Amino acid sequence: MSTTALTYLFVALSFALYIGIAIWSRAASTKEFYVAGGHVHPIANGMATAADWMSAASFISMAGIIAFMGYDGSVYLMGWTGGFVLLALLLAPYLRKFGQFTVPDFIGERYYSKTARVIAVLCLLIVSFTYIAGQMRGVGIVFSRFLEVDINTGVYTGMAIVFFYAVLGGMKGITYTQVAQYCVMIFAYLVPAIFISMLLTGNPLPQLGLGTTLEDGSGMTVLAKLDAVLTDLGFAAYTASERATIDVFAITAALMIGTAGLPHVIVRFFTVPKVSDARKSAGWALLFIALLYTTAPAIASFARLNFVDTVQDATYETMPDWFKNWEDIGLIGWSDKNEDGHIQYGPGNAFEGGAPTFGEERGSHGERVVTSAPTAADNEVYVDRDIMVLANPEIANLPGWVMALVAAGSLAAALSTAAGLLLVISSSVSHDLVKKTFRAGTTERQELLYARLSAAVAVVVAGYFGINPPGFVAQVVAFAFGLAAASLFPALFMGIFVKSMNRDGAIAGMIAGLGFTWVYIAWFKFWEPAANVAENWWFGISPEGIGFVGMIVNFVVAFAVARFTVKPPEKVRELVDSIRIPVRTQSNAPKL
Amino acid sequence: MSGTESHRDTSGDRTQAYWKANLRELAWLLAIWFTCSFGFGIVLAEPLNAFTFLGVPLGFWFAQQGAIYIFIMLIFVYAWRMHRVDERFGLEDDNEPDSYDLDDAGGETQA
């Protein structure tokens, strides 16, 4: 069977599985729609959280980014895992004890204010839509490369599938589908990694492969060889940092805190039965996530080594199929700048202005003619970072079924995250905006209908962004984490740990943190992109890391305002007391 | 120990002491969290790279492998130790009814 046929088979089988699960676990009540009834086992919830959390960015892009950034890619590894420690220790158990359906729910009740609730909904919508656009795009790329259909057809198919199980099944359907998607995803990630680790180092554990001696007779470890090869070509060493320490620090902190403040991750902990389950479940979630996250750095270094080995000083005529396939989609480009007939790969951009544009005709070696202006750098190769994970099995010459598996796995990663995001979008609209803010008398049946309607609208909006990606999708990822870190996390944290924090302090803090972070990122990303260099950054912190400073701004403003305004009412202080202990107190015990 | 859940002692002093015990657990666990990631993985990464661990420069290993393993352990250690603290204060939730079930019976807002 051809690779394309195998891919169709794997993708179709996995989709059939997800739809089957969705039908089996339809949601009948708002409680099932929002929090799966609160009866999810902590280990199942851990798997679902892992699938929810690991998006197309984790599955497709992360290893590629690390491959090209080396040590500096560590910010994503530590940032996207360390946040779970904050979540498990500082937020999840208490929010579970609070026992409502959404994140704005907590902020609205704790700060006894509709304004606070609406601000929280706003933050949530910005963060979630930013994210979901990227997922739909990921679905489109996988479809176009592996199933050889139009990107738009791919996005429509993805929309239809997500629509089906998120709108019908709600959190209940999503949870059990995500468990299946986690299994597909992790299997698809580990199989090629193990194969490649065996081929390169003879060690089947990719995590250990990094430090294992290569099988090529050089007697060097993977990392030592990589450092030597890269410095030879004029790159910085793979294990050395090219960024200022303070910037690496701030980016890691912003990603960690942002992770802990992401609504679609937090609500997953509303689905387990008890407080102690919420604590354990976070541990399981991180364990499942770590299986992929500790493999990624190995994949990254293997991929970079293989890539340099294949490309450097070879001729275009001898390039393997994967090089030409990705060139056809425009994610690889080569122009023989020094006209020696060989491919030279080195530091610096090969062409002006990022991704190159191509002409219709072919060059003298059969390559696509790049019409972008060449730069002065000796580097002749443009390669998009996102292709590394998808191309890795081909680069390593693995059998066709492995590639089919990777395609199914990347779709699982994108769809599971998209579904989780759709759910928090729809529940914050139907529950927080419609029911709790604008139409108090909404019945449960109406609310469920509103929830499904807003999920449907959100799917369409997400699909629109997938087909017409705003040029700034990549840039706004910094927004999502920065904003979550600067707005939602401090409000949630103070709601639990600072009993004296009042409405005015929390609202002022959220607005200040959000505003500060927004302006800083927008200034460097949209208004003055040319000024986005280290010399102009405050304290040397890049827009990616500014959410950390935004969080500090939030805390400072909140405490200052709270000092001079009215203390929270007694009822709220009792609420804080009750969420701090895992059992029911007399005041909120059931009336028997 | 046959009291029903609603008869548990959740008076001020006791819950205050429980909360302090929780904060103590958080303090040392977060200190380790910070040291292994921001400390060994970032600020001290370069000097630590002079040593190797499993064939990998140590600072680089913490940043791309070690910190993640430690994070997992920290969460499970917290879950385990906090459950013991819960028990010490008679606040374990092992026999707690599911709060969503209670919401059905007792109206929709929880105090």
Domain assignments of chain B as residue spans, ordered by start: 25-89
The length of chain B is 111
Cβ of B16 under 8 Å from any chain A Cβ?
A: no
Question: What is the per-residue pLDDT for A447?
Answer: 82
Contacts of B110 in chain A (CB under 8 A): 98-100, 578, 588
Question: How close does chain B come to A455, measured CA to CA in Å?
Answer: 23
**First vs last C-alpha separation in chain B:** 26
Residues A247 and A377 in one domain: no
Residues A170 and A54 in one domain: yes
Distance CA A554, CA A557 (A): 5
A398 pLDDT more than 60? yes
Interchain contact, B92 vs A591, CB within 8 Å: no
Find the closest chain B residue to A297 by CA distance. Answer: B64
Find the closest chain B residue to A301 by CA distance. Answer: B64
**CA A400 and chain centroid, separation:** 27
The number of folded domains in chain A is 2
**Domain ranges, residue A268:** 3-303+399-585
The answer to whether residue A590 sits within a structural domain is no
Residues A466 and A443 in one domain: yes
Residues A389 and A500 in one domain: no
Q: In chain B, positions 42-81, which contact chain A (CB-CB < 8 Å)?
A: 42-43, 45-46, 49, 52-57, 60-61, 63-65, 67-69, 71-72, 74-76, 78-79
DSSP helix/strand/coil, B4: coil
Identify the band that residue A446 occupies on the pLDDT scale cut at 50, 70 and 90: confident
Identify the band that residue A86 occupies on the pLDDT scale cut at 50, 70 and 90: very high
Question: What is the per-residue pLDDT for A591?
Answer: 37
The two tokens of residue A274 are: 């008890």
The closest CB to that of B68, out of A294, A582, A589, belongs to A294
**Residue B20 CB neighbours (<10 A):** 9
Residues A331 and A471 in one domain: no
Interchain contact, B64 vs A84, CB within 8 Å: no
Q: Is B32 exposed, middle or buried (0-12, 13-18, 19+ CB in 10 A)?
A: middle
Question: What is the per-residue pLDDT for B9?
Answer: 57
DSSP helix/strand/coil, A358: strand
Most confident segment among A54-58, A167-171, A389-393, B32-36? B32-36
Interchain contact, B37 vs A221, CB within 8 Å: no
Distance CA A183, CA A586 (A): 43
A390 pLDDT more than 60? yes
The mean per-residue pLDDT over the stretch A546-561 comes to 95
Find the closest chain B residue to A576 by CA distance. Answer: B111
Question: What is the per-residue pLDDT for B10?
Answer: 60
Identify the band that residue B110 occupies on the pLDDT scale cut at 50, 70 and 90: very low
Tens digits of residue pLDDT in B10-24: 667 888 899 999 999
The answer to whether residue A109 sits within a structural domain is yes
Question: What is the per-residue pLDDT for A466?
Answer: 76
ipTM rounded to 2 decimals: 0.89
Question: How close does chain A come to B43, measured CA to CA in Å?
Answer: 7
Better-scored residue on pLDDT, A509 or A419: A509
Question: What is the per-residue pLDDT for A589?
Answer: 44
Question: What is the per-residue pLDDT for A482?
Answer: 87
Question: What is the per-residue pLDDT for B1?
Answer: 40
A1 pLDDT more than 80? no
E strand spans, A247-345: 332-334
Residues A408 and A384 in one domain: no
Residue that is written with structure tokens 């087909």 in the block: A467
The mean per-residue pLDDT over the stretch A319-326 comes to 86
- What average pLDDT is seen over chain A? 85
Residues A478 and A378 in one domain: no
A246 pLDDT more than 70? yes
Please give the single-letter amino acid code of residue A283.
G
Interchain contact, B110 vs A213, CB within 8 Å: no
DSSP helix/strand/coil, A359: strand
The length of chain A is 592
The mean per-residue pLDDT over the stretch A165-173 comes to 78
Question: What is the per-residue pLDDT for A32?
Answer: 79
Distance CA A493, CA A270 (A): 17
8 Å CB contact between A175 and A45: yes
What CATH code is carried by the domain that includes residue A59? 1.20.1730.10
Residues A369 and A406 in one domain: no
Residues A246 and A391 in one domain: no
The closest CB to that of B29, out of A89, A283, A581, belongs to A89
Angle at CA A93, nearest 5°, toward A87 and A94? 105
Q: In chain A, positions 89-108, which contact chain B (CB-CB < 8 Å)?
A: 89-90, 93, 97-100
The closest CB to that of A38, out of B71, B83, B100, belongs to B100
Identify the band that residue A190 occupies on the pLDDT scale cut at 50, 70 and 90: very high
CA distances in angstroms from A174 to A264, A421, A444, listed in the order given: 12, 10, 20
Question: What is the per-residue pLDDT for B108?
Answer: 40
Distance CA A119, CA A518 (A): 14
Residues A378 and A403 in one domain: no
Least confident of A83-92, A380-389, A456-465, A529-538: A529-538
The mean per-residue pLDDT over the stretch A498-512 comes to 93
Of the candidates B6, B18, B101, B80, the residue with the CA atom closest to the CA atom of residue A35: B101
**Residue B8 CB neighbours (<10 A):** 18
Assign residue B90 a region (left: φ > 0; alpha: ψ between -120 and 50; beta: otherwise): left
The mean per-residue pLDDT over the stretch A207-235 comes to 84
Question: How close does chain B come to A457, measured CA to CA in Å?
Answer: 28
Least confident of A88-92, A144-148, A578-582: A144-148
B8 pLDDT more than 70? no
The model's pTM: 0.88
Please give the single-letter amino acid code of residue A586.
Q
Question: How close does chain B come to A588, measured CA to CA in Å?
Answer: 6
The two tokens of residue A379 are: 């580097």
Question: What is the per-residue pLDDT for A473?
Answer: 53
The answer to whether residue A26 sits within a structural domain is yes
Find the closest chain B residue to A294 by CA distance. Answer: B65
The two tokens of residue A89 are: 């220790």
DSSP per residue, A457-491: HHHHHHHHHHHS--TTHHHHHHHHHHHIIIIIHHH
Identify the band that residue A488 occupies on the pLDDT scale cut at 50, 70 and 90: very high
**Residue B53 CB neighbours (<10 A):** 15
Most confident segment among A54-58, A139-143, A495-499? A495-499
User: In the listed set A395, A421, A445, which residue is the last one of a domain according to the structure?
Assistant: A395
B100 pLDDT more than 80? no
The answer to whether residue A168 sits within a structural domain is yes
User: In the listed set A372, A395, A418, which residue is the last one of a domain according to the structure?
Assistant: A395
User: Which residues neighbour A115 within 8 Å (Cβ) at sequence distance 6 or greater?
Assistant: A507
Distance CA A111, CA A109 (A): 5
B109 pLDDT more than 70? no
Distance CA A587, CA A575 (A): 10
A477 pLDDT more than 90? no
Least confident of A23-37, A90-104, A469-483, A522-536: A469-483
DSSP helix/strand/coil, A38: helix
